[in-house]
């Protein structure tokens, strides 16, 4: 099973192939209801077969095409589920994800994978990082509102001892320490000590810790060079001002998670980090909606709620921010040559969800996508957009 990330989604949609089958289903994790999982799964696969046949694919070919998914229905697969299962199949790709969110049953078969239901999980406005720091262990995590996964960082020292063994750290950091950025916190002071009154050994140890923090920051500087997601620091309290002195990432948050990261539970770490970062994401979304409403009221042409205007704009890189209803679909086709959009009340063969189409192309073209419940949508529309020009 692959891990779900924004990069993984881009991989799924950057090279579309026909047919592309997307299957969403809710799953039961335990109890008697778990027996409903394989029944629901078989029904959805049968629906996918019918959709493939409606595209002109012979029954035996459709069955063979879906065989990788059918092979999941073996052994104890259904005993290791979360709240939702998502399956993607195309001629050269097969992926599935067990995810912590319940999806309505949905089968989509066309030239592009259907990813809109997943955007709420890993949206650009829900990404954050956690640096868990102690003298004996360093770990870096990427998170969303639903998950937290460890990420390997090139050249990241695994602990204080390893950092001090690196000759380049010994040579390169001394100059940086001598020309400190002058933070307000005293990096050499921690509970139980007073700077200037400690032993030489203690002062040397504090200098070593600052060297260590510079080495960690240097590795993260390369990893996060173009990022804007918030970074939360977790660890023993006395390390925080020392790391903050070394830090060069502009989106490091002031609020921290106190505790020994060597023994902290991953779920607890995620919950604490999400409590810290989530208010800022809600503020960003609120500010984006207010900007849309302001532009729509000014009549500048930089805001729209007409899906037939938004679809070509998303395709041709014009959409800066897209607001799309998570629990609705608009089936149809887009003709890029004539920039026309045909909508249908029910999905026809080769149809795409035009809301998903707009989200995919906005994402690929560097725009922001906000997935909202229908009652949250500006002006009660199914899709709205802020244009770049």
Fold observed for domain 299-387? 60s Ribosomal Protein L30; Chain: A; (3.30.1330)
Tally the residues of the chain: 389
Segment 103-107 shows an average pLDDT of: 92
Helix axes 354-364, 6-14, angle to 10 degrees: 110
pLDDT reported for residue 167: 45
CATH fold of 127-280: Nucleotidyltransferase; domain 5 (3.30.420)
The pLDDT of residue 159? 80
The pLDDT tens digits of the residues spanning 72-81 come to 998 788 888 8
Tell me the CA distances in angstroms from 163 to 132, 238, 362, one per residue in order.
Answer: 16, 19, 42
* Phi then psi dihedrals of residue 74, to 5 deg: -145, 160
Mean pLDDT of 44-63: 95
For residue 188, pLDDT over 70 is answered with no
Helices (H), 199-300: 200-223, 240-246, 266-298
Q: Who contacts 139 (Cβ-Cβ below 8 Å, separation ≥6)?
A: 131, 132, 150, 261
Rounded Cα–Cα distance for residues 229 and 278 (Å)? 12
DSSP 205: H
* Residue 62 · residue 107 · CB < 8 Å: no
Nearest Cα to Cα of residue 150 among 166, 165, 137: 137
Instruction: Look at residue 369 and tell me whether its pLDDT is greater than 60.
Output: yes
What's the Rg (C-alpha) of the chain? 25
- With a pLDDT cut of 70, the percent of the chain lying above it is 87
Domain spans in the chain, listed from the N-terminal domain onward:
6-113, 127-280, 299-387
Write out pLDDT tens, residues 289-318. 999 999 999 988 999 999 999 999 999 999
Give this prediction's pTM.
Answer: 0.65
d(CA 16, CA 28): 31
Query: Average pLDDT of 224-234?
Result: 91
Q: Using the predicted structure, report yes or no on whether residue 164 has a pLDDT greater than 90.
A: no
pLDDT of residue 43: 96
Average pLDDT, the chain: 84
For the chain, counts of helices (H) and of strands (E): 12, 16
Helix, strand or coil for residue 269?
helix
**Least confident interval from 52-61, 133-142, 189-198:** 189-198
The CATH number of 6-113 is 3.30.960
């Amino acid at each position: 099973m692959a891990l779900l990330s924004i990069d993984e989604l881009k991989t799924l949609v950057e090279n579309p192939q026909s047919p592309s089958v997307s299957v969403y289903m809710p799953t039961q994790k335990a109890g008697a209801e778990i027996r409903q999982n394989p029944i629901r799964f078989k029904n959805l696969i049968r629906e996918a077969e019918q959709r493939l046949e409606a595209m002109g694919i012979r029954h035996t070919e459709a069955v063979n095409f879906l065989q990788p998914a059918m092979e999941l229905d073996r052994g104890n697969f259904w005993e290791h589920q979360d709240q939702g299962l998502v399956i993607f199949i195309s001629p050269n790709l097969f992926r599935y994800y067990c995810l912590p969110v319940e999806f309505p049953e949905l089968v989509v078969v066309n030239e592009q994978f259907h990813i809109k239901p997943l955007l709420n999980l890993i949206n650009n406005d829900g990404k954050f990082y956690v640096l868990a720091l102690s003298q004996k262990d360093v770990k870096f995590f990427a998170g969303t509102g639903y998950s937290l996964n460890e990420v390997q960082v090139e050249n990241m020292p695994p602990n204080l001892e390893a950092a001090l063994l690196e000759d380049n750290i010994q040579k390169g950091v001394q100059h940086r320490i001598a020309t400190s950025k002058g933070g307000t916190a005293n990096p050499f002071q921690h509970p139980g000590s007073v700077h200037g009154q400690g032993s030489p050994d203690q002062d040397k140890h504090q200098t070593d810790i600052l060297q260590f923090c510079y080495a960690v920051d240097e590795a993260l500087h390369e990893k996060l060079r173009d990022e804007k997601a918030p970074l939360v620091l977790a660890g023993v309290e006395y390390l925080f001002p020392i790391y903050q002195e070394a830090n060069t990432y502009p989106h490091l948050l002031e609020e921290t998670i106190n505790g020994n990261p060597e023994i902290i539970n991953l779920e607890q770490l995620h919950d604490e980090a999400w409590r810290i970062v989530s208010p800022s994401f809600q503020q960003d979304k609120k500010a984006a909606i207010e900007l849309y409403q302001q532009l729509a009221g000014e009549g500048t042409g930089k805001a729209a709620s007409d899906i037939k205007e938004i679809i070509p704009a998303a395709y041709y890189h014009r959409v800066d921010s897209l607001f799309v209803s998570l629990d609705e679909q608009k089936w149809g086709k887009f003709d890029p040559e004539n920039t026309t959009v045909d909508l249908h009340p029910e999905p026809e063969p080769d149809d795409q969800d035009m809301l998903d189409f707009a989200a995919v192309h906005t994402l690929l073209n560097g725009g922001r996508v906000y997935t909202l419940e229908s009652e949250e949508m500006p002006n009660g529309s199914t899709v709205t957009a802020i244009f770049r020009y």
